[in-house]
Amino acid sequence: MPKTFEAGAPDEGAPDQGAADQGYAVSVHNLWKSFGEQVAVAGIDLELPAGRFIGLVGPNGAGKTTTLSMVTGLLRPDDGTVLITGHDVWTDPVAVKSRIGVLPEGLRLFERLSGRELLAYTGRLRGLPGAEVDKRAAQLLDVLDLSAAQNKLVVDYSTGMRKKIGLAAALLHNPEVLFLDEPFEGVDPVSAQVIRGVLERYTRSGATVVFSSHVMELVESLCDWVAVMAAGRIVAQGPLADVRGEASSLQDAFLSLVGATERGGQDLDWLGGAR
Amino acid sequence: MSAPATHPSVTPVFIRLKLAIIRNGLRQSTGRTIGWIVGVVFAMLYGLAMGVGMIALRHSEYGPAAAVGLAVVLIIGWAVMPLFLFGGDDTLDPTRLAMLPLRPRPLISALLISSLLGVGPVFTVIVTAGAVSALAGNAVSIVVAIVAVALVLLLCVALSRAVAAANTRLLTSRKGRDLALLSGLFVAVGAQLVNLGASSLASSDGLDRVKSLASVLRWLPPAPAIDAVRAATGGSYGLAVLELLYVAAVLALVIRWWHHSLYRLMVTPDASTLQAAEKEAGTGGGRLAALLPGGRTGTVMERQFRYAWRDPRSKAAWATALAVGLLLPIVAAVQHGSIYSACWAAGLLGMQMYNQFGVDGSAFWTVASTISTRADAHAELRARALALSTVAVPYVTIVTIGAALLLGRPDAVPETLGLSLALLGALIAAGAFASVRFPYALPQDNPFGSSAPGQGGLAAISLFGGGLTGAACCLPLVGLTIYLHVADHHAYLWILLPIGALYAVTLAAASLRFTAPRLLNRLPEILTAVAKG
């Protein structure tokens, strides 16, 4: 088990590794949000370099969704600032909303539209020309393996198909930064591989992907930059190798970072015993 | 119990499960508890009233016919109920038990007995007891009556369960739930028809018709069980026994059907995971899009129209507004009421503008993340207002002209139409503002609910306050109408039409302009409010 971590110490100073050559895609300063008594996000600072595949990891209830909602302008923070490629989310929505794509978790799509209609609707809301929207939509549906279901209502889609159509809608306007909240949750391996392929191609073009997950193996294999959240705070952030440190895997590093000890099993001595 | 001796019976488990479900349902919120208690008290009072009413018919010649009719109404109610309330009772869904190692036979007895717990069965027992009390006379007939009540109850419950089991696949599918939602409308219309039928029965020869009807219904189970009581009182013991046996045989058949459906449900895979039938190709920008304006306005209007047709909640709201908006003026016309009742069409359709974003639910995030300027916000609101007006303006015009013709007052068309249009414009204006200022979530699990738990107050503010505000906005025009009438300037009443139309357009446009920046500033707050459902 790893004992200490030097990398990504949650100090005030922003880590500058790996981001020297590019600007920050996302920079968050002193972000706060509480729901009644419950403090969901407790003053986080986050600097995410552009052009990276970034994983936001943390246990359930760590505040990942709340953070992503505030960063994408869907939830108003109690305090703090969020800059996306240098533009303030709350004072410059025109610059920000055209530059980001979002796949939220727990929010619906307009499910009574077919997959193709949903893309046509979203693209036109984004102000893209109709013909261009239809061309991009057809290509996205094809790449994401949704062509056969394009005329089916989204309400009848499976979880994996919903994630894929949501991803297509988020990519349609070719955003600079893509925010995905649990994009692989409940997705079958085949769809997951498809989503993965699309995202890898997208980041190779210089775009930034920020996604939240609690599946460490996935984050470890996809991301080159990681931010770890626990109880509403960022406990580590930095390049994957730095955050992992000397631990054998990101999983082990994560467990010790969030303070989860080896627990459970002692009292269940009947389990696996004589039947 | 038919369970093997080595296995403990599952019946007590199911009884406890049912009680726990009732208890936990009540624990969710005080509002729900109060609603449930009020519902129970109401049902019990209604049941008692019906029971007492039946007893009051004890020596009436219509007693037997009424008792038989009541039994038939009960069984129809029980048979139809699962189709509407399926989502409300988890214990009705046998697929939840498919993974458990249960054999159908003990499962059926357990489900049947646990089904006897609840308000419905108590209601049924009270009403049936009243019905047999109206018919029982001697000691034998009392014994027959007790058997009859038990048979009626068992048959009702078993049939309800069997219908649910046979239709589970339909009812758990998305299409089935959509249908169930719209069926609320059919119930409302059906209630009107029943109302009509009842009033025709209340006429002079109506009661004789009940008797002739009853002579047929007497053979429809469980009515023979009730009729057996009458037979026993009259001394025809053989007939009474035969009728009881007949109902018992039907009960056995129903249980067999139930057994069969349950068995099939538990051993065949759920077809809902298979591919649904492909629908015909719906083009991204089809004929509809060609007629709509370009840009955000047309895009949003197109989606509004698609939702009015495809989303059962929107469809029900539209259908209700259109139907009631037509019905009220017609009723008024038939009763030689006021021509101004034609304004109902405008009023009901205008109310559709309220809580626009609550209808979107959490999908509103798509709207929120694509509105970045005041112009976007304005286009979004304008599109929703235009989509509504596209239907409402022609409809209101037709209803107004129709009502005027029915009442023989074509001269009143301009002023009524002018008032109607002004009301529509005022409601659109107030509705757009209320949608932004007082958004509230619609419950996702209960399609009939008008607001999510805890948001009832907000819904009331938005609807009633908004409705009043909208009506108040029309006061200048109402004042002008009254003045023209009182001052005897009837020749000038026609000017209300252009003034009303202009007033509506101006008011709506001003409100959209006023509301647009507020929508832009409140996007996250609206999303938080409407995503709660």
Which is more confidently placed, B275 or B329?
A: B329
Which is more confidently placed, A31 or B25?
A: A31
CA gap B326, B342 in Å, rounded: 8
What pLDDT does B378 receive? 96
The residue in chain A having the minimum alpha-carbon distance to the alpha carbon of residue B532 is A107
Give yes or no for residue A156 having a pLDDT over 60: yes
Give yes or no for residue B85 having a pLDDT over 50: yes
- The number of C-alpha atoms within 13 Å of B406 and in the hemisphere containing its C-beta is 23
B41 in a domain, yes or no?
yes
Q: Are A148 and A95 in contact (CB under 8 A)?
A: no
Q: Integer distance in angstroms from the first to the last C-alpha of chain A?
A: 35
Which residue from B254, B207, B258, B250 is spatially nearest to B225, judged by alpha carbons?
A: B250
B519's tokens:
């929508």
- Containing A42, the helix (H) or strand (E) segment is strand A38-49
User: What's the whole-number mean pLDDT along residues B311-329?
Assistant: 83
Q: Are B103 and B248 in contact (CB under 8 A)?
A: no
Check CB contact under 8 Å for A124 and B365: no
Q: How confident is the model at residue B284 (pLDDT cuts 50, 70, 90)?
A: very low
Q: Which of B297-301, B308-312, B338-342 has the highest mean pLDDT?
A: B297-301
Q: How confident is the model at residue A54 (pLDDT cuts 50, 70, 90)?
A: very high
What pLDDT does B200 receive? 54
Beta-carbon neighbour count of residue A73 at 10 Å?
23
DSSP B494: G
What pLDDT does B50 receive? 84
Instruction: Determine contact: B287 vs chain A, CB below 8 A.
Output: no
Which one of B279, B292, B372, B530 would you mutate to disrupt binding with A, by most A Cβ within 10 Å of its Cβ?
B372
Domain boundary among B269, B303, B329: B269
Lowest-confidence pick of B137-151, B304-318, B454-468, B509-523: B454-468
Give yes or no for residue B347 having a pLDDT over 50: yes
Instruction: Determine contact: A169 vs chain B, CB below 8 A.
Output: yes
Using a pLDDT cut of 90, give the percent of chain B over it.
Answer: 25
Mean confidence (pLDDT) of chain A: 86
Check CB contact under 8 Å for B296 and A134: no
User: What's the whole-number mean pLDDT along residues B289-318?
Assistant: 86
Give yes or no for residue A251 having a pLDDT over 50: yes
What confidence tens digit (pLDDT) does each residue in B416-425 have?
999 999 999 9
DSSP B278: P
Instruction: Determine contact: B370 vs chain A, CB below 8 A.
Output: yes
CA gap A199, A193 in Å, rounded: 10
Check CB contact under 8 Å for A93 and B372: yes
B444 in a domain, yes or no?
yes
Tell the CATH topology of A22-99+177-187+207-259.
Answer: Rossmann fold (3.40.50)
CA gap B151, B221 in Å, rounded: 10
Helices (H) and strands (E) in chain B, counts: 23, 0
**Distances, alpha carbon A21 to alpha carbons A17, A49, A54, A98, B46, in Å:** 10, 9, 17, 24, 78
Instruction: Determine contact: B7 vs chain A, CB below 8 A.
Output: no
The radius of gyration of chain A's CA atoms, rounded to the nearest angstrom, is: 20
Query: Do B345 and B256 lie in a common domain?
Result: no
Check CB contact under 8 Å for B307 and A93: no
Which is more confidently placed, A52 or B70?
A: A52
B2 in a domain, yes or no?
no
Q: Which of A244-258, B221-235, B486-500 has the highest mean pLDDT?
A: B486-500
Which residue from B164, B359, B147, B312 is spatially nearest to B237, judged by alpha carbons?
A: B147
**Among B303, B307, B524, beta carbon nearest to A73:** B524
CA gap B36, B24 in Å, rounded: 12
A110's tokens:
């307009």
Give yes or no for residue B106 having a pLDDT over 50: yes
Beta-carbon neighbour count of residue A69 at 10 Å?
27
Instruction: Determine contact: B365 vs chain A, CB below 8 A.
Output: yes
Burial of B4 (0-12, 13-18, 19+ CB in 10 A): exposed
**Among B282, B300, B528, beta carbon nearest to A117:** B282
For residue B315, which residues of chain A lie inside 8 Å, CB to CB?
A: none
Q: pTM higher than 0.80, yes or no? A: no
Beta-carbon neighbour count of residue A41 at 10 Å?
27
Check CB contact under 8 Å for A121 and B303: yes
Query: Do B261 and B332 lie in a common domain?
Result: no
What confidence tens digit (pLDDT) does each residue in A116-130 have?
999 999 999 999 998
**Among A74, A112, A133, beta carbon nearest to B311:** A112
Q: Are strands A225-230 and A233-239 parallel, antiparallel or unpaired?
A: antiparallel
User: What's the whole-number mean pLDDT along residues A213-227?
Assistant: 89
B279 in a domain, yes or no?
no
CA gap B162, B156 in Å, rounded: 10
What pLDDT does B95 receive? 67
CA gap B379, A182 in Å, rounded: 32
What pLDDT does B445 receive? 57
What pLDDT does B233 receive? 85
A38-49 sheet: strands from edge to edge: A38-49, A24-35, A79-84, A87-88
B6 in a domain, yes or no?
no
- Containing A119, the helix (H) or strand (E) segment is helix A115-125
Name A211's bridge partners.
A55, A180
A vs B, Cβ pairs < 8 A, gives 98
What confidence tens digit (pLDDT) does each residue in B357-381 have?
988 989 999 999 999 999 999 999 9
What pLDDT does B199 receive? 55
B456's tokens:
């009832």
Domain boundary among B269, B301, B334: B269
User: What's the whole-number mean pLDDT along residues B206-224?
Assistant: 72
- Containing B320, the helix (H) or strand (E) segment is helix B312-334
CA gap B366, B355 in Å, rounded: 17
Instruction: Determine contact: B32 vs chain A, CB below 8 A.
Output: no
**Distances, alpha carbon B47 to alpha carbons B42, B76, B132, B190, B214, in Å:** 8, 16, 14, 22, 21
- Name the one residue in this structure whose structure tokens are 């208690």: B37
Check CB contact under 8 Å for B285 and A76: no
Phi, psi of B521 (to 5 degrees): -80, -20
Domain count, chain B: 2
The angle that helices B237-267 and B223-233 make with each other, rounded to 10 degrees, is 160
Q: Which residues contact A126 (CB under 8 A, 6 or more apart)?
A: A98, A172, A173, B370
What pLDDT does B287 receive? 66
- The number of C-alpha atoms within 13 Å of A92 and in the hemisphere containing its C-beta is 13
Query: Do B338 and B476 lie in a common domain?
Result: yes
Give yes or no for residue B384 having a pLDDT over 50: yes
Q: How confident is the model at residue B340 (pLDDT cuts 50, 70, 90)?
A: confident
The radius of gyration of chain B's CA atoms, rounded to the nearest angstrom, is: 29
B193's tokens:
């028809």
DSSP B461: I
Instruction: Determine contact: A252 vs chain B, CB below 8 A.
Output: no
Burial of B304 (0-12, 13-18, 19+ CB in 10 A): buried
A100-103 sheet: strands from edge to edge: A100-103, A177-181, A208-213, A53-57, A225-230, A233-239
Residue span of the structural domain in which B22 resides: 11-269
Burial of A244 (0-12, 13-18, 19+ CB in 10 A): buried
List strand residue ranges (DSSP E) for B298-355, in order: none
- The torsion angle over the Cα atoms of residues B474, B479, B480 and B485, rounded to 10 degrees, is 130
Q: How confident is the model at residue A12 (pLDDT cuts 50, 70, 90)?
A: very low
CA gap B459, B465 in Å, rounded: 9
DSSP A88: E
Q: How confident is the model at residue A5 (pLDDT cuts 50, 70, 90)?
A: very low
What pLDDT does A161 receive? 92
Check CB contact under 8 Å for A94 and B525: no
User: At A82, is the secondary structure helix, strand, or coil?
Assistant: strand
What pLDDT does B454 receive? 60
Instruction: Determine contact: A138 vs chain B, CB below 8 A.
Output: no
Instruction: Determine contact: B310 vs chain A, CB below 8 A.
Output: yes
**Among B302, B361, B369, beta carbon nearest to A97:** B369
Query: Do B345 and B489 lie in a common domain?
Result: yes
Q: Which of residues 171-200 of B touch A (CB under 8 A)?
A: 174
B276 in a domain, yes or no?
no
CA gap B32, B23 in Å, rounded: 11
CA gap B465, A3 in Å, rounded: 62
Query: Do B104 and B138 lie in a common domain?
Result: yes
Phi, psi of A34 (to 5 degrees): -130, 150
Q: Does the CA dihedral B346-B349-B354-B356 come out positive or negative? A: negative
B126 in a domain, yes or no?
yes
CA gap A217, A211 in Å, rounded: 14
What confidence tens digit (pLDDT) does each residue in A176-192 have?
999 999 998 888 888 88
The residue in chain B having the minimum alpha-carbon distance to the alpha carbon of residue A70 is B524
Q: Where are the domains of chain A?
A: 22-99+177-187+207-259
B381's tokens:
């609101």
Query: Do B222 and B312 lie in a common domain?
Result: no
B438's tokens:
């007082």
B3 in a domain, yes or no?
no
Q: Are strands A208-213 and A53-57 parallel, antiparallel or unpaired?
A: parallel
Beta-carbon neighbour count of residue B263 at 10 Å?
16
- Containing A254, the helix (H) or strand (E) segment is helix A250-257
What confidence tens digit (pLDDT) does each residue in A80-103 have?
999 999 999 999 999 999 999 999
The residue in chain B having the minimum alpha-carbon distance to the alpha carbon of residue A93 is B372
Which is more confidently placed, B201 or B524?
A: B524
Which residue from B160, B136, B131 is spatially nearest to B223, judged by alpha carbons?
A: B131
User: What's the whole-number mean pLDDT along residues B159-186?
Assistant: 71
Residue length of chain A = 275
Check CB contact under 8 Å for A75 and B306: no
